[in-house]
Amino acid sequence: MSKKVSVLFVCLGNICRSPTAHGVFRNLVIEAGLEDQIEIDSAGTAAYHIGKGPDTRSTAVAKERGIEMADLRARKVDFGDFYVYDYILAMDDENFANLEDLALPEHKSKIQMFLEFTQDFSESEVPDPYYGGAKGFDHVFDLVDSASRGLLEHIKANHLN
Ligand code: 4NP
pLDDT tens-place string over residues 7-66: 999 999 999 999 999 999 999 999 999 999 999 999 999 999 999 999 999 999 999 999
* Backbone phi and psi for residue 3, each to the nearest 5 degrees, phi listed first: -60, 145
Q: What is the pTM of this model?
A: 0.98
On whether the CB atoms of residues 148 and 39 are closer than 8 A, the answer is no
How far is C-alpha 130 from the geometric centre of its chain's CA atoms? 16
Beta-ladder partners of 11:
44
Domain encompassing residue 22: 5-159
Q: Which candidate in 11, 16, 57, 81 is catalytic?
A: 11
Q: Which residues line ligand 1 (CB under 6 A)?
A: 11-17, 44, 48, 128, 130
Whichever domain contains 63, its CATH number is 3.40.50.2300
* Residue range 87-138, pLDDT digits in tens: 999 999 999 999 999 999 999 999 999 999 999 999 999 999 999 998 999 9
Is the distance from CB of 48 to CB of 75 less than 8 angstroms? no
* Count of domains forming the chain: 1
